[in-house]
């Protein structure tokens, strides 16, 4: 019986984190092909006061 | 001195406008009474639940009516005009929250009387303490409410967001208010909670005007 | 970039190790039995949830002070991760509580505060989503983030004193006597989730920077 609850807990955590990380990485890949891998301008823009 | 005059003028204008039709106050009071009725009927009044229902009614009514008051100029496009006046923006904050606080104070008194009837509370012998509890709460509610309303001025769906953002901030205030009201009604010793609510008020009265200025200044 | 990949690998290694310690190596609890193993999947999420809000606070203050976009990006990313991990903390907490204490929910201060924290995060992200993407939106978000995060300890103590100074908590979450293998499992998991948080944070911030760069380049084309 404990196995079910433990599996549920570990399962949810793993699944959610996996899905989130995978989607994040995919979105990063998509944008990198559009913009280029290092979109850092020469000067770090500062929002004016 | 000049600033205080300006703040008072703004508060006076808002309250005068409100006095003409008294719509905001009427709507808030009606809503609050409905909440009291609903809660009183479903949950039932006991010495511990009565103050809670009172404060829930006040809090919900505040979130209902406050946007109307703070944004009254925005609809006429007059808010920018207000901002153009020379001098510190801080006084805008004081004027608006003073108006709101006055409205809420009136609402509190109305709710006290009605709650006294509904829940069979002896408010008349405890009136000073109960008024005090109300003042403490109303000051905090109006300061935080005015600040958040100003914060969300340029955010889409601000009437929707206001309650969502405000409730977590108001929560400690309401909890403390409940305990203070309990104490005022002759319950346990509420000294600690008076200190909590007082501290909350002082902190927000110090911080809110500064943040208000920071958010209304030109980017 | 390489650093980030290394972080990711490290996170995976630590997570697997932690799970191994938690599920296999560590002993069952005298009172809870094997259910105590859920703790290793629950506590690290709560830890990261609070680590995230601290990150939101610090970076929001830094943004208001220095006005550098990177602080804004980190605050936004930390809030998004905060929703994720707070949600997981609440879910695993309920899964832990039901078989062990018989209820899905208790009204103790920690749980209530964590639930409100979840909603504070959502409010913050709503503000982000609904304001025009500009410096003003970032400023508003920073202030909302600062007040929201400062509110968390205030809520915790308000709730704690509201209840406990009136009547003692009816369900007492007894402290678990931690044998060294249990401590090891917990510490490993805590470290693992912390590394995971840092990895996801850098990744999410990178996404935000790409996003901003793309918006800027589109604007330039126009």
DSSP code at position C175: P
CB contact under 8 A, C143 and B215: yes
The ipTM is 0.88
Structure confidence at residue B77 as a pLDDT band (50, 70, 90)? low
DSSP code at position A46: B
Residue C171: predicted pLDDT: 47
Instruction: Give the closest of C95, C196, C217 to A9, CB-based.
Output: C95
How far is Cα of residue A12 from the mean position of the Cα atoms in its chain? 17
Closest by CA position to A39, among listed C213, B188, C33: C213
- CB-neighbour burial class of residue B158 (10 A; exposed 0-12, middle 13-18, buried 19+): buried
Residue A41: predicted pLDDT: 53
Question: Is pLDDT above 70 for B93?
Answer: yes
Closest by CA position to B187, among listed B136, B122, B143: B122
Closest by CA position to B169, among listed B153, B186, B146: B146
CB contact under 8 A, B165 and C144: yes
d(CA A21, CA A9): 18
Question: Is pLDDT above 60 for C170?
Answer: no
Separation in Å, CA of B100 to nearest CA in chain C: 21
Yes or no: say if C146 and C61 are a contact pair by the CB < 8 Å rule: yes
Residue A48: predicted pLDDT: 55
Handedness of CA C140, C146, C152, C155 (dihedral sign): negative
Residue B218: predicted pLDDT: 60
CB contact under 8 A, A47 and C138: yes
Q: Which of C48-52, C110-114, C178-182, C196-200 has the lowest mean pLDDT?
A: C178-182
Structure confidence at residue B18 as a pLDDT band (50, 70, 90)? confident
Residue A4: predicted pLDDT: 92
Structure confidence at residue A38 as a pLDDT band (50, 70, 90)? low
| Two structure tokens written together for B87 | 């001098």
Of all residues in chain B, the percent with pLDDT exceeding 90 is 48
d(CA B217, CA C64): 13
d(CA C51, CA C61): 16
Instruction: Give the closest of C38, C84, C135 to A5, CB-based.
Output: C38
Instruction: Give the closest of C35, C96, C203 to A25, CB-based.
Output: C203
Residue with tokens 């719509």: B23
| Two structure tokens written together for C92 | 């695993």
Structure confidence at residue C91 as a pLDDT band (50, 70, 90)? very high
C-alpha separations of B191 from A21, B177, B181, B196 in Å: 50, 12, 11, 9
Indicate the angle between helix axes B191-216 and C135-164, nearest 10 degrees. 180
Yes or no: say if C77 and C205 are a contact pair by the CB < 8 Å rule: yes
Yes or no: say if C69 and C205 are a contact pair by the CB < 8 Å rule: no
Yes or no: say if A10 and C41 are a contact pair by the CB < 8 Å rule: yes
Count Cβ atoms below 10 Å from residue C23 Cβ, excluding itself: 16
pLDDT in tens, C107-133: 888 999 999 999 999 999 999 999 876
CA dihedral C22, C25, C31, C36 (to 10 degrees): 10
Mean pLDDT, residues B155-171 taken together:
92
User: In chain B, where are the structural domains located?
Assistant: 2-216
Of all residues in chain A, the percent with pLDDT exceeding 70 is 71
- DSSP reduced 3-state for C133: coil
pLDDT in tens, B122-150: 888 888 889 999 999 999 999 999 999 98
Read off the pTM: 0.89
Question: Is residue B130 within 8 angstroms of chain C, CB to CB?
Answer: no
Structure confidence at residue B69 as a pLDDT band (50, 70, 90)? confident
d(CA C220, CA C155): 46
| Two structure tokens written together for C170 | 């009816």
Question: Is residue C210 within 8 angstroms of chain A, CB to CB?
Answer: yes
d(CA B209, CA B98): 12
User: In chain C, where are the structural domains located?
Assistant: 2-169+178-221
């Amino acid at each position: 019986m404990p196995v079910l609850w433990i599996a549920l807990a570990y399962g949810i955590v793993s699944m959610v984190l996996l899905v989130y990380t995978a989607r994040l990485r995919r979105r990063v890949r998509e944008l990198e092909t559009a913009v280029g891998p290092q979109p850092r301008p020469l000067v770090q823009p500062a929002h004016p006061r | 001195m000049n600033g205080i005059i300006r703040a008072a003028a703004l508060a006076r204008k808002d309250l005068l406008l409100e006095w003409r039709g008294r719509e905001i106050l009427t709507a808030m009071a009606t809503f609050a009474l409905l909440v009291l009725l609903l809660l009183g009927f479903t949950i039932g009044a006991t010495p511990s639940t009565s103050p809670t229902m009172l404060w829930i009614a006040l809090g919900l009514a505040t979130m209902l009516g406050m946007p109307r008051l703070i944004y009254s100029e925005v609809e006429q496009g007059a808010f920018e005009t207000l901002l153009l006046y020379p001098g510190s923006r801080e006084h805008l904050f004081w004027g608006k929250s003073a108006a709101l606080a006055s409205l809420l104070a009136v609402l509190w008194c109305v709710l006290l009387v009605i709650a006294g009837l509904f829940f069979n509370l002896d408010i008349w012998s405890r009136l000073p303490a109960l008024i005090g509890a109300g003042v403490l709460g109303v000051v905090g509610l109006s300061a935080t409410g005015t600040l958040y309303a100003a914060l969300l001025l340029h955010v889409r769906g601000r009437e929707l967001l206001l309650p969502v953002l405000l409730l977590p901030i108001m929560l400690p205030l309401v909890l403390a208010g409940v305990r203070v009201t309990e104490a005022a009604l002759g319950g346990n010793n509420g000294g600690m909670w008076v200190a909590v609510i007082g501290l909350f008020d002082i902190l927000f009265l110090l911080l809110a005007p500064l943040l208000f200025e920071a958010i209304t200044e030109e980017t | 970039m390489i650093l980030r990949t290394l972080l990711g690998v490290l996170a995976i290694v630590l997570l697997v190790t932690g799970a191994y310690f938690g599920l296999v190596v560590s002993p069952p609890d005298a009172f809870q039995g094997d259910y105590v193993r859920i703790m290793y999947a629950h506590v690290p999420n709560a830890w990261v949830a609070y680590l995230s809000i601290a990150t939101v606070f610090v970076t929001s203050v830094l943004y208001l002070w220095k006005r550098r976009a990177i602080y804004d990006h980190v605050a936004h990313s930390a809030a998004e991760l905060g929703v994720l991990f707070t949600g997981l903390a609440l879910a695993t907490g309920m899964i832990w509580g039901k078989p062990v204490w018989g209820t899905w929910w208790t009204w103790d201060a920690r749980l209530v505060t964590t639930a409100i924290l979840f909603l504070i995060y959502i409010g913050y992200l709503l503000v982000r989503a609904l304001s025009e993407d500009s410096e003003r939106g970032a400023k508003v978000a920073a202030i909302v983030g600062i007040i929201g995060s400062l509110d968390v300890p205030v809520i915790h103590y308000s709730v704690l004193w509201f209840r406990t100074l009136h009547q003692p908590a009816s369900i007492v979450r007894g402290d678990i006597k931690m044998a060294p293998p249990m401590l090891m499992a917990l510490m490993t998991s805590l470290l693992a989730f912390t590394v995971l948080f840092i990895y996801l944070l850098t990744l999410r911030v990178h996404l935000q920077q790409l996003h901003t760069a793309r918006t800027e380049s589109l604007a330039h084309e126009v």
